Structure 1
């Protein structure tokens, strides 16, 4: 068993998912046979499916402001729907599109990019129109470029009130078409709006599901479309682990929910009920237990719903109890768990597969991993669940991994509270990066408690990049009778790494020096470290403006986002990774030959952080290869920091002139 001190290895939501096996949960894992969208093009489209895909936003030739905005929002590469749809939507002339895509897969960003690409800012009138299942305030002349509203509202603006000239609309988006046609009147209203639009208006239609009724509607409003459609088995989002809990009645469901609640509050959760009455009862019962729970149901007016959702989005409540009013169109990035307290059924009591898909789609969003738990309390509800499984063609399988990786707190819970692991059966216990472990509140004590549960013959292995007194004391507590391998101080900086510094006067000069270095850096791969997320975002955006392909990784990203960025970098799809200290430890990318400290590492008091410096430059020169580390110095203070780092490691760091291209090429080879 290994405890990975870099808490990204397995986040606690993953722990919650795995621990559920102790609570009578059966897994219904989705494993699509093929993992790509099915793309059909119309007769006029000459490109093949593979030719139409893009692997980076730079390939789309977006306006510089849009490209900068994409990276500032944390997008590093196109999602599956984006890589298929964007080339079609941004083509010249623009092409019509019908696409099947779950919410949370990046489809909103896709059509927003398409819309913004066609805006002419000088024209102060609506040019782009999106219809969606929501309400928009009215009452004044509209001069915005983009109009979003329900079909009824937009139809009034176009025909009765004359707020909008439909002949000037360039892009028309119908989002969540499956919801649209289920609402009385919306289908006819949408068709009437479409008939008012000019012939050259681009038509885009998105739907999470594609039943016959949706397809017939799509054909009426989108002429000559390109089509992106998922296979049935791909519809349930393979990023979501699905389980069910077997109960006998409502009280047992509530008790099971209380047992799960400790895991749920790791991130945020949404609990779906069939009726408002059940939702109100459940919220009240949870409140009696001392939990902070928000309630959202259909009788609330729009403003009330918006206020509840906003509080939930801000994290002021961890759990939202709701009805189907929240099954669609609500994006809360932090939701990692969805619970179907009642399984979704239609008015005839049959499985509502579309609603099930939309409900569980509130988690596993934006490429993250999610967890869905279904409460089953009767033969009827078990039958409903079985039919849902059959609809999506999935079958479960038992999990029995041999190796467990997690943070100390998670592993301790698995061993003691949840009994998911029998510590007496553990043969090898690994504590990696012990210097990081003891710097994290609680991890030291938790690690010691785990170690005491293990059998005497369990092998104990502890690794640390640095060995301060605190690390040594900790090591003695958890590793009895050890063999010790310890480096001398001067050996700690890894003699396979050449270290230099560049003298600058300010941030702009540091950026210019970086641009001068970039030609040499891209010989292999590079990691650039910044002190703050703000600087990292700025730097990634500036490099993108210069036409470079750069990935951004920072602390506000969740585990799954970070993993996706690192995987692309590891595969060489981006040559440079701009990051903060979140990547200083535990990331092994063999091809990294250059590390740049855009900002030198300092602790909270502004003193040199020697350990972090060592970990940062240790991202290169790995596996016996030679590496290069370049430090940007832009003030007397940062020069003093660098001097103290040199003294600590007894290592002279040479100055590098970035205007001398011959010198750069020499050190890079």
Structure 2
């Protein structure tokens, strides 16, 4: 197995999971941070988006989880719901073969569901500040036994005025724990947290956004009057014929207006902005990842923490007013080992902002002056054919791509309302022919149903042999769960 993560001497199930996820070579931030957090050193990490920082704390946490311990052992605090879900997915994927259970809790989600989830064995919790404090005050969560406390995108969180909430979280956690502080910038608020709560922290600084951008992202800008922007946008799209495209605007009103224009022109497009419900935003991102459409029009709500690795083109329809947002926006393309393009539309009023961005990134963005009509015409045919294929593929019911082929997730039509517990499920399944306790992975018991990971390639044979099993002497239907493999 040619996987350089083996240099960290990780648990064999973690290495296997990383291999399934196609994580072969650690990024710079992973190389430096993973050994420190495995060795339980407090660490401050200054690193830009797209550098692989989530795995740099997810891997050490998963490595040091004791799955037999029923306490929550790690808490990751993040600024947004989208990021909470992204981090939860990454930890779940990395820790799944080791049977690690991770739960995400955030606002605008029924608190009763979260309380129910937290009552089961949960090893890792990813949370937004307000909701974790709500649970602490309700006494529905206990973080007194955590070994890791990670504050992700700390600069964004503290700039939003969450400093008091961070204080409450630290005050309710044990004095002896490993702290990881991840931030794009180190300011007085970050220094306050590190000086007050951290024990002789190591500093890891990854200043590589310029190198990554120049190497993997082809950046350019085009001068255009506001009234001509939409026609130029279409010309750029057809010239580039991207497989997938994100378009950023500065306000939700402008996002909605452009979305409606593009929809009218038969683009396969969806929008995402802060006025949408959490559920709609989650589904839009999920469908975009699965190529059910290929144009996403967004405000800056999706410029951070959205891990989609195959975006081939980013267009800044509006120049961002915050120069850091430029880095976050274009960081949606050219991720991992992929290459991408970023084009920014600039009108006369934007000159000041584009100059500030160039000063900030330390190099000049090239001007795109020649967009050939011929290339746009040919590209339009290609792009429209691509969209027709996406529409056709969309009509065919697709089975989500499995990350871990050795796992089959099964569905049982019984849950808490029938007084079913994890132990009942383990007892029933481990007594079936060919199944041992080691073959049963993460179990999730809901009110009306339950989900179980069957490991070690044993799931297919189990489903072939049984359509029904007995749990607590009652017949329970069993089938494959195709929704969350």
Quickly name the TM-score band, shorter chain normalised. Answer: 0.5 to 0.7
Say if 1:208 and 1:365 are closer, same or farther in 2 by CA, change over 3 A.
Answer: farther
TM-score (norm 1): 0.49
The whole-number CA distance in structure 2 between the counterparts of 1:192 and 1:534 is: 39
Say if 1:304 and 1:419 are closer, same or farther in 2 by CA, change over 3 A.
Answer: closer
The whole-number CA distance in structure 2 between the counterparts of 1:121 and 1:233 is: 37
Say if 1:215 and 1:234 are closer, same or farther in 2 by CA, change over 3 A.
Answer: farther
Match in the other structure for 1:65: 13
Contact 2:48/2:207 (<8 A) preserved: no
Contact 2:38/2:61 (<8 A) preserved: no
The structural deviation recorded for 1:360 is 1.4
Match in the other structure for 2:327: 357
After superposition, give the CA deviation of every residue in 1:423-461 in whole Å (9 maximum; x if it has no partner).
xxxxxxxxxxxxxxxxxxxxxxxxxxxxxxxxxxxxxxx
Say if 1:120 and 1:212 are closer, same or farther in 2 by CA, change over 3 A.
Answer: same
Match of 2:363 among 382, 394, 401: 394
Contact 1:328/1:358 (<8 A) preserved: yes
User: What is the count of residue pairs matched by the alignment?
Assistant: 347
Say if 1:117 and 1:232 are closer, same or farther in 2 by CA, change over 3 A.
Answer: closer
The structural deviation recorded for 1:253 is 1.4
Say if 1:536 and 1:233 are closer, same or farther in 2 by CA, change over 3 A.
Answer: closer
Match in the other structure for 2:52: 106
Contact 1:98/1:222 (<8 A) preserved: no
Query: What are the equivalent positions in structure 2 for 1:371-386 lying under 5 Å apart?
Result: 371-378=341-348, 380-386=349-355
Instruction: Classify the secondary structure of the residue corresponding to 2:59.
Output: helix
Contact 1:102/1:235 (<8 A) preserved: no
After superposition, give the CA deviation of every residue in 1:109-160 in whole Å (9 maximum; x if it has no partner).
12111111121111223111011123424322413111111111112222x1
Match of 2:339 among 366, 369, 391: 369
Say if 1:253 and 1:391 are closer, same or farther in 2 by CA, change over 3 A.
Answer: same
Coordinate RMSD, CA, aligned: 2.9
The whole-number CA distance in structure 2 between the counterparts of 1:201 and 1:79 is: 26
Does residue 188 of structure 1 match 2:164?
yes
Say if 1:414 and 1:222 are closer, same or farther in 2 by CA, change over 3 A.
Answer: farther
Match in the other structure for 1:97: 43
After superposition, give the CA deviation of every residue in 1:39-64 in whole Å (9 maximum; x if it has no partner).
xxxxxxxxxxxxxxxx9211111000
Does residue 305 of structure 1 match 2:281?
yes
After superposition, give the CA deviation of every residue in 1:257-287 in whole Å (9 maximum; x if it has no partner).
1001125553211111111111111111111
Instruction: Classify the secondary structure of the residue corresponding to 1:366.
Output: coil
The whole-number CA distance in structure 2 between the counterparts of 1:83 and 1:119 is: 20
Match in the other structure for 2:483: none
Say if 1:283 and 1:90 are closer, same or farther in 2 by CA, change over 3 A.
Answer: same
Does residue 417 of structure 1 match 2:395?
no
Query: What are the equivalent positions in structure 2 for 1:568-583 lying under 5 Å apart?
Result: none
Contact 1:247/1:253 (<8 A) preserved: yes
The whole-number CA distance in structure 1 between the counterparts of 2:152 and 2:145 is: 20
Mind listing any 5+ residue stretches in structure 1 that lack a counterpart?
Answer: 1-54, 346-351, 400-412, 421-532, 539-669
TM-score (norm 2): 0.66
After superposition, give the CA deviation of every residue in 1:336-392 in whole Å (9 maximum; x if it has no partner).
2111111111xxxxxx122222111111222322211111011x3022101110112
The whole-number CA distance in structure 1 between the counterparts of 2:188 and 2:337 is: 28
Does residue 156 of structure 1 match 2:134?
yes
Match of 1:132 among 66, 78, 85: 78
The structural deviation recorded for 1:295 is 0.7
The whole-number CA distance in structure 1 between the counterparts of 2:131 and 2:253 is: 31
Say if 1:220 and 1:372 are closer, same or farther in 2 by CA, change over 3 A.
Answer: farther
Say if 1:313 and 1:536 are closer, same or farther in 2 by CA, change over 3 A.
Answer: closer
The whole-number CA distance in structure 1 between the counterparts of 2:130 and 2:7 is: 38
The structural deviation recorded for 1:162 is 1.6
The structural deviation recorded for 1:77 is 1.2
Instruction: Classify the secondary structure of the residue corresponding to 2:312.
Output: strand
The whole-number CA distance in structure 1 between the counterparts of 2:154 and 2:282 is: 22
The whole-number CA distance in structure 2 between the counterparts of 1:278 and 1:178 is: 27
Instruction: Classify the secondary structure of the residue corresponding to 1:298.
Output: coil
Contact 1:233/1:394 (<8 A) preserved: no
Say if 1:279 and 1:414 are closer, same or farther in 2 by CA, change over 3 A.
Answer: closer
Contact 1:241/1:372 (<8 A) preserved: yes
Instruction: Classify the secondary structure of the residue corresponding to 1:74.
Output: coil
Instruction: Classify the secondary structure of the residue corresponding to 1:147.
Output: strand
After superposition, give the CA deviation of every residue in 1:305-355 in whole Å (9 maximum; x if it has no partner).
11111111111111111111111111111212111111111xxxxxx1222
Query: What are the equivalent positions in structure 2 for 1:551-566 lying under 5 Å apart?
Result: none
Mind listing any 5+ residue stretches in structure 2 that lack a counterpart?
Answer: 82-104, 379-400, 407-485
The structural deviation recorded for 1:419 is 11
Contact 1:343/1:381 (<8 A) preserved: yes
Match in the other structure for 1:316: 292
Does residue 209 of structure 1 match 2:185?
yes
Instruction: Classify the secondary structure of the residue corresponding to 1:307.
Output: helix
Match of 1:270 among 222, 236, 246: 246
